[in-house]
Structure 1
């Protein structure tokens, strides 16, 4: 397939970096105005998103108008987490500012389809080009000159559009599922909070109403205990999501038997107790074990396990007040076990369960479907970009995945 550098598909003055350092500093940020695209806005999926900071319209007009982005522009990370790329969405905001750590590409519509260029910029081949050309002195970074030279496959416009539509449909469904799961979780939380506010609840130590276990580390004498394992194994970094549906690794049963870690059932609440993820809470949707950075909490009563998930979230700030450590903050299993949580009557618990359990199941099923859709998208992407797969066949594969 024909390949072209990004410079060949850019509109006039389409490749733009962020402003000079002194032109945009923290003191320039305001509560409203023109949003600034920073690294934190590059990890929300296909489109920029998350919490934005702003600059005033006057600041934008005076110092930053050259460093702007508009819908359909493509944003690349220049320093920090290299390889991040995102589109500026339509219908949200007409103008953005590109920060010092980002670069913007505006494509010539006669040469390329922005959504296609975005997907081409997420391939392993494109990421390798960035890695090979990155400047490693200090913080790893690239620049506009490097970005301009990076190449992507460039089929005819009609084919670009067709490829972008197939992959975009998968991402649209993933985004819809994420919204559905978030709404289901918020509704369940709202119901919990209404009982917390209006119900007659007793305060009990977590260990009085639930099983509390600490993860462990397998014996170092077992070599290669991650190889060919069958038992799902977790670490605290996986608790950034609301629900844990897939493990990062599989451990052998022999290694687990020589570890202090215990198997935790579906429905358990996981709490990260150390390091950067301290206080992260997620609901486990598979049977799994984990390392010593995780505490698991559950009840034999599945409705109580659901209540515990929300009760521990409600008491997260209280748990964090127990954190100790200078270099790395942490809490202990005992801190979790002794944490006072609200406990309802059996009638209140049953009423809550009838409302919350179907919603949590809906959220879990939506996220499981998204995992399958993302796997399909990632499998199709390199084949579509290399012309090894026809769009019609890709559409069939997407349909089979549940689109």
Structure 2
């Protein structure tokens, strides 16, 4: 296996790739129609979760130049939480990168495989260098362009790179399949909810208060010891599953249990659809979340998943957004105002049928999510061994075959 040790400056000079930081926009350049700004908080490990809050007017597109995203670009967060990496997926809308996001665009026929570079950013060779560079400031951790130019990468021959990508990529592909299955289930359940008339304006005479079906911020005892903690970044804009959580001492915040729905109540998270369904904790366990959540819980006799699909419904979200108050940029909706909402009373048989299907679908998704977390852990353990050559590709292939 032929290997070369090259710096990023070497690769850029030879035309193997271009890289740079984002566009330093001025407030006066913001406007519509335009390109959404991709900010550092919207880049998560392996995925882009855009908020679509700020746009740079198309009048400045020429000035943006190469800082406009392309499919296949690798993006790396370089300030604050340094090192989150993702790929701009095929079909993604265009973005203009913010200054705290660095992009890497590998040329066709380059000595470096684009996806190999993506996985390299997750490995020890990158982190051993980034760790010493990102802390050379008294302020937040930061990697500047000079730091990135000086990064040194071991570049095996393309066949070896492709083999590593194929092995590790098989795990990511299975995780992506699980995501698509979960998304399909949600789409099918939404159709059932629509059949109950949730999106239709109710008849004022027969309308039902939503509080007949859902509690808002129900009382939950304070956990007595370290508890699950969910922050805003863990909520998806289009999926029920909560992507990540930590544990910490319960010092405040919203409290929830399995079967609860977490609704973001602050701008721009509410407008962007940040919502999650809690089903990953142990039975009886109490979790703690951001103070910017509203907890929604189906009342006894109503399927627990109903509260999630209510929170996702267009009518309810429009109602919640209309009732936001506060200064520009920090508006919130109060739980009592969100709860002042009326729906067409669901047919009992349709509601029961929805509950049966939803219970089965969500149980399967829980299983898929557990599998995805296991696959991600396996990927993260194999990757450094493959990159360093400690593990042969053929041995890794056998391990992956057993997992997928």
Deviation at 1:386, TM superposition (A): 2.4
Q: Hey, what's the Cα distance between the residues in 2 that align with 1:79 and 1:260?
A: 27
The answer to whether structure 1 residue 291 and structure 2 residue 288 are counterparts is yes
Higher mean displacement: 109-118 or 80-89: 80-89
Show CA shifts across 1:31-76 (max 9, x none).
47xx6773369626647675776875x965x545465665555343
Deviation at 1:355, TM superposition (A): 4.9
Deviation at 1:329, TM superposition (A): 5.7
Q: Hey, what's the Cα distance between the residues in 1 that align with 2:255 and 2:99?
A: 47
Is the 8 Å Cα contact of residues 76 and 83 (structure 1) preserved in structure 2?
A: yes
Show CA shifts across 1:330-380 (max 9, x none).
666655666545431212213433554444444444333322221221222
Match of 2:156 in 1: 155
The answer to whether structure 1 residue 282 and structure 2 residue 276 are counterparts is yes
Show CA shifts across 1:259-288 (max 9, x none).
9998734x3333456798668432222433
Counterparts of residues 74-223 of structure 1 (less than 5 Å): 74-79=74-79, 81-89=81-89, 100-101=99-100, 102-106=102-106, 109=109, 111-123=111-123, 125-127=125-127, 129-134=129-134, 136=137, 141-196=142-197, 203-210=207-214, 213-215=218-220, 217-218=222-223
Identify if the C-alpha distance between structure 1 residues 133 and 160 changes in structure 2 by more than 3 Å, giving closer, same or farther.
Answer: same
Identify if the C-alpha distance between structure 1 residues 105 and 184 changes in structure 2 by more than 3 Å, giving closer, same or farther.
Answer: same
Secondary structure in structure 2 of the residue aligned to 1:372: helix
Identify if the C-alpha distance between structure 1 residues 133 and 313 changes in structure 2 by more than 3 Å, giving closer, same or farther.
Answer: same
Match of 1:309 in 2: 308
Instruction: Report the TM-score when normalising by structure 1.
Output: 0.72
Q: Hey, what's the Cα distance between the residues in 2 that align with 1:238 and 1:65?
A: 30
Q: Gapped runs of 5+ residues in structure 1?
A: 220-224, 227-231
Is the 8 Å Cα contact of residues 41 and 51 (structure 1) preserved in structure 2?
A: no
Q: Hey, what's the Cα distance between the residues in 2 that align with 1:341 and 1:209?
A: 10
Is the 8 Å Cα contact of residues 216 and 261 (structure 1) preserved in structure 2?
A: no
Match of 1:240 in 2: 235
Higher mean displacement: 328-337 or 347-356: 328-337
Q: Hey, what's the Cα distance between the residues in 2 that align with 1:217 and 1:274?
A: 23
The answer to whether structure 1 residue 17 and structure 2 residue 20 are counterparts is yes
Show CA shifts across 1:126-152 (max 9, x none).
245334323636675433321121123
Deviation at 1:396, TM superposition (A): 2.6
Instruction: Report the TM-score when normalising by structure 2.
Output: 0.72
Higher mean displacement: 313-322 or 141-150: 313-322
Deviation at 1:109, TM superposition (A): 4.4
Show CA shifts across 1:9-34 (max 9, x none).
44635344257747x876376647xx
Q: Hey, what's the Cα distance between the residues in 2 that align with 1:129 and 1:107?
A: 24
RMSD of equivalent CA atoms: 4.5
Q: Hey, what's the Cα distance between the residues in 2 that align with 1:269 and 1:85?
A: 29
Paired residues in the alignment total 380
Show CA shifts across 1:134-173 (max 9, x none).
3636675433321121123433332221111112222222
Match of 2:257 in 1: 264
Q: Hey, what's the Cα distance between the residues in 2 that align with 1:90 and 1:15?
A: 19
Q: Hey, what's the Cα distance between the residues in 1 that align with 2:386 and 2:186?
A: 36
Higher mean displacement: 373-382 or 208-217: 208-217
Secondary structure in structure 2 of the residue aligned to 1:104: strand
Q: Hey, what's the Cα distance between the residues in 2 that align with 1:49 and 1:260?
A: 24
Match of 1:383 in 2: 385
Deviation at 1:297, TM superposition (A): 0.7
Deviation at 1:92, TM superposition (A): 6.8
Deviation at 1:382, TM superposition (A): 1.9
Q: Hey, what's the Cα distance between the residues in 1 that align with 2:97 and 2:324?
A: 37
Q: Hey, what's the Cα distance between the residues in 2 that align with 1:108 and 1:155?
A: 17
Q: Hey, what's the Cα distance between the residues in 1 that align with 2:22 and 2:333?
A: 42
Identify if the C-alpha distance between structure 1 residues 261 and 346 changes in structure 2 by more than 3 Å, giving closer, same or farther.
Answer: same
Identify if the C-alpha distance between structure 1 residues 115 and 181 changes in structure 2 by more than 3 Å, giving closer, same or farther.
Answer: same
The answer to whether structure 1 residue 366 and structure 2 residue 368 are counterparts is yes
Higher mean displacement: 238-247 or 372-381: 238-247
Q: Gapped runs of 5+ residues in structure 2?
A: none
